[in-house]
Amino acid sequence: MSNYSIRAEGLSKDYLIHHAQTQLNNAQYRTLRDQIAGVASGILRGFGTLGGSGMTHSTLHAINDVSFDITHGEVVGIIGRNGAGKSTLLKVLSRITAPTRGRATIYGRMASLLEVGTGFHPELSGRENVYLNGAILGMHKHEIDRKFDEIVAFAEVEKFLDTPVKFYSSGMYVRLAFAVAAHLEPDILIIDEVLAVGDARFQRKCLNKMQDVGAQGRTVLFVSHSMSAIMRMCQRTILLDSGKVLADGPSDQVVSDYLSGGSSSTAERIWDDPAQSPGAEVARLRAARICGPDGNVSESIDIRQPVSLEMEYDVLRDGFVLMPNMHLYNDQGTHLFTTIDVDPEWRHRQRPAGRWVSRAQIPGNLLAEGTHFVNVSMITNDPVIPQFHEREAVAFQVYDTMDGDSARGDYGSQMGGVVRPMLKWENRRISTKL
Amino acid sequence: MSLADTRQAPESLAPKADDERPTIIIQPVRGWFQLSLKNLWAYRELLYFFIWRDVKVRYKQTILGAAWAIIQPVMAMVVFTIFFGGLAKISSEGLPYPIFNYTGLLPWQYFSLALTSTSNSLVASAGLVRKVYFPRIMVPLATTIAGLVDFAVAFVVLIGLMVFYQIVPTLSILLLPLFLLLAVVTAGGVGLWLSALNVQYRDVRHAAPFLVQFWLFATPVVYPSSLLPEPWRTIFGLNPMVGVVEGFRWALLGTNPPTAMIALSTIIALIVFFSGVVYFQRVESKFADVI
């Protein structure tokens, strides 16, 4: 049996989704009134529906028949788009929520870190929060006592130990929170994207600390959007898509599959079913795509060429001024920029209902080489009501053919940087004397 | 990878051999009772830390601090003494009305505060429930127990009143901890029900203050239960707080021992508590999904 750390056998988790049809705000929780009204209207309609009034239900298979074995000491990455089921899988494995079907067996002491600083109380001091947070994460008091100095030194907050954390800067807060978590010593550590915190120097420190954990022969399950962190930390990666395991293998292979599209292209995404597409009262997202200079969908873009980001959406109601916007991220999770529709023709005008397309063009010689992710988003203006915000709706790669006419000139190796604009350089000799 | 700050783990910290490692099985929730006492015991320190947190933050950023634990019952006693003792001339079984009333108010205040804060405790910890695993029952239990600190502070006033009115307690004072336990079990039981219901139905938050108000008048705090003729007096014990309040008066002030009433109250309190535990652990696996 068990050289295993985690065995998942057919794990599935279904959610019942309530769609409010009449109200602007989706009801997050039910009130008895809703229940009673729902039951009453159900009786009137001959038990047509049970549940909230004006609600319809659909089942979402957040994870669906997920199976894998992780052996002791493996560091495994989990990747996938937003909504692929990564967080649900971690929640099930962390025992936060129970699966609907299937089972998982965990061999060893497990700690999960789905959020940095869970359970910190703003009124308590740094010292007190270390104990409280440690206990919440499953540490015993004597363990915290033993590691206290190490935690404080790692977080670099020695001077403010007796200050309530509500007075901490966000950086200090996050450092202290990560420090507690980093000093857990479980056999199995489950981590969700907690590296997206703190400044670059502290991020590096965190990553090194996590590599230490892996090097000590512990099992680590690591969810991230940062492909570089996944490649650096994990030998093996599991790719989830629509709640299912799409690929499971060596990290470099799975990551490149994922980025290049594997079974489905990353450069275009279409929502055929209006019920499943992101949206609200006024607008609903129907497609997002990346187009090359020829106007065709393309996931590889020459660094010298412009690239078009396109979103297609239904405007469901007349009378709203819309502000389509997009957010560009690189594979490190760095937010490069946000762009908002400023098309003078529609900027202040209410858009009639219908199918619309909005396109933004990024000029050539601006982005750096590498993978870029695009969030597409829509809000109405005045009043400002978010309509949808789809993270990582599409992704594309920027490559340099190294023909010598890009911003890298004749330089052939690693350049770094989050953008690579072509700048105008000037040279002149200002003196003949030395 | 930077090897510079990679430290080697001491031998003792290395993962233990397979046979020593605990095994957790995760599967759909079935059956009506599967509370694991072993699991609760493993998390006992967390219960302690939750209580400690609740006590620590209760009077943060207040000027009067823990004095609130005294002000509330004392002000209530003053008001009740003026209206019920003074104006309405309600019987106080031959005792001075202020101490008669305060002895009842003491467990009542504990109960009402514990009830309202416990019913809201899980929702107030929504962030935790969504992000970390621990036995959820720790949250309402800790809140119920943390209320005892206020009780202890307010108890000091009672000692002062007993000295002032020169009331010497009899041996029955030894039973006081049992009646206090009865109050904790009642508050915990009702709190478990309401906190779990509140996760799904936020109506509870609005209903709880009413419930407490009505419950006060259904409990002999401002009047003695001897106002009722038998057998109604014993049946009155169906409200567990009746047993608690009359028990307190018996233990501290030496009123007639209401044995049958207390027995009935104890049975009801235990039923409420254990049904609360059963209901709570039946629905707790869904908390993270609906909170």
Residue A4 lies inside a defined structural domain of this protein: no
Between these two residues, A46 and A301, which has the higher pLDDT value? A301
- Domain match, A154 and A78 both: yes
Domain of A356 in residue numbering reads as: 268-399
In whole angstroms, what is the distance from residue A367 CA to residue A399 CA?
10
Let me know: does B155 contact B241? Beta carbons within 8 Å: no
Q: What mean pLDDT comes out for the span B188-209?
A: 91
Tokens standing for B190?
A: 């009702």
Residue A61: the pLDDT is 86
Average pLDDT, rounded, for chain A: 83
Of A260, A277, A307, which closes a domain? A260
Model confidence, pTM: 0.71
Residue A31: the pLDDT is 64
Q: What mean pLDDT comes out for the span B141-150?
A: 93
Selecting from A98, A106, A107 the residue whose C-beta is nearest the C-beta of B28 gives: A98
- Domain match, A220 and A105 both: yes
Between these two residues, A233 and B80, which has the higher pLDDT value? B80
Of A214, A231, A260, which closes a domain? A260
Looking at residue A354, which CATH number applies to its domain? 2.70.50.60
Nearest CA in chain A to B205: A31
H or E segment at B143? helix B138-146
Residue B18 lies inside a defined structural domain of this protein: no
Domain of B169 in residue numbering reads as: 35-284
Residue A430 lies inside a defined structural domain of this protein: no
8 Å CB contact of A118 and B201: no
CB of B18 within 8 Å of a chain A CB? The answer is yes
Let me know: does A311 contact A326? Beta carbons within 8 Å: yes
For B266-283, write each residue's pLDDT tens digit: 999 999 999 999 999 888
- Three-point CA angle B50, B55, B59, nearest 5°: 135
- Domain match, A76 and A49 both: no
8 Å CB contact of A94 and B290: no
In whole angstroms, what is the distance from residue B262 CA to residue A162 CA?
48
In whole angstroms, what is the distance from residue B247 CA to residue B243 CA?
6
SS3 (DSSP) at B291: coil
Q: Is the pLDDT of residue B9 over 80?
A: no
Selecting from B52, B134, B202 the residue whose C-beta is nearest the C-beta of A136 gives: B134
Minimal CA separation from B43 to chain A, in Å: 8
Residue A425 lies inside a defined structural domain of this protein: no
Q: Is the pLDDT of residue A85 over 70?
A: yes
Q: Which residues contact A283 (CB under 8 A, 6 or more apart)?
A: A313, A314, A315, A316, A320, A322, A378, A380, A387, A388
How many folded domains does chain B comprise? 1
H or E segment at B195? helix B176-200
- Domain match, A231 and A310 both: no
Q: Which of A266-270, A422-426, B260-264 has the lowest mean pLDDT?
A: A266-270
Residue A240 lies inside a defined structural domain of this protein: yes
Residue A434 lies inside a defined structural domain of this protein: no
- Domain match, A123 and A226 both: yes
Distance (Å) of CA B215 to CA B111, B118, B140, B196, B218: 10, 16, 20, 20, 5
Let me know: does A333 contact A223? Beta carbons within 8 Å: no
Let me know: does A193 contact A227? Beta carbons within 8 Å: no
Average pLDDT, rounded, for chain B: 85
How many folded domains does chain A comprise? 3
Q: Is the pLDDT of residue A27 over 70?
A: no
Residue A419 lies inside a defined structural domain of this protein: no
Q: Is the pLDDT of residue A42 over 60?
A: no
Q: Is the pLDDT of residue A262 over 80?
A: no
In whole angstroms, what is the distance from residue A409 CA to residue B77 CA?
86
Minimal CA separation from B100 to chain A, in Å: 38
Looking at residue A182, which CATH number applies to its domain? 3.40.50.300
Torsion of CA B156, B160, B165, B167, to 10 degrees: 50
8 Å CB contact of A29 and B46: no
Q: Which of A12-16, A66-70, A252-256, B64-68 has the lowest mean pLDDT?
A: A252-256
Distance (Å) of CA A383 to CA A37, A323, A324, A380, B68: 31, 11, 15, 7, 44
H or E segment at B85? none
8 Å CB contact of B26 and A110: no
For A334-379, write each residue's pLDDT tens digit: 889 999 999 999 999 999 999 999 999 999 999 998 888 899 999 9
Residue A36 lies inside a defined structural domain of this protein: yes
Residue B31: the pLDDT is 66
CB of B28 within 8 Å of a chain A CB? The answer is yes
8 Å CB contact of B61 and A123: yes
Nearest to A138 by CA among A155, A119, A121: A119
- Domain match, A197 and A274 both: no
SS3 (DSSP) at A166: helix
Q: Is the pLDDT of residue B8 over 50?
A: no
Q: Is the pLDDT of residue A204 over 80?
A: no
Of A200, A225, A260, which closes a domain? A260
Tokens standing for B208?
A: 């709880």
- Domain match, A57 and A125 both: no
- Domain match, A227 and A79 both: yes
Q: Which of A90-94, B130-134, B228-232, B264-268 has the lowest mean pLDDT?
A: B228-232
Minimal CA separation from B248 to chain A, in Å: 35
Nearest CA in chain A to B49: A132
Residue A34: the pLDDT is 64
Q: Is the pLDDT of residue B23 over 90?
A: no
Q: Which of A16-30, A159-173, A228-242 has the lowest mean pLDDT?
A: A16-30
Between these two residues, B6 and A304, which has the higher pLDDT value? A304
H or E segment at A276? none
Nearest CA in chain B to A73: B15
Between these two residues, B28 and A305, which has the higher pLDDT value? A305
> In this structure, which amino acid lies at residue A13?
K
Q: Which of A63-67, A173-177, A319-323 has the lowest mean pLDDT?
A: A173-177
Nearest to A374 by CA among A386, A356, A362: A362
Contacts for A227-231: CB closer than 8 Å, 24+ residues apart = A227/A79, A227/A255, A227/A258, A227/A259, A227/A331, A227/A371, A228/A331, A228/A332, A229/A195, A229/A332, A230/A77, A230/A79, A230/A255, A231/A255
- Domain match, A156 and A103 both: yes
Q: Is the pLDDT of residue A255 over 60?
A: yes
- Domain match, A140 and A236 both: yes
Q: What is the ipTM of this complex?
A: 0.80
Using a CB-CB distance cutoff of 8 angstroms, which residues of chain A are in contact with residue B45?
A: 135, 140-141
- Domain match, A147 and A214 both: yes
B 94-133 near A (Cβ less than 8 A)? 127-133
- Domain match, A360 and A343 both: yes
Residue A6 lies inside a defined structural domain of this protein: no
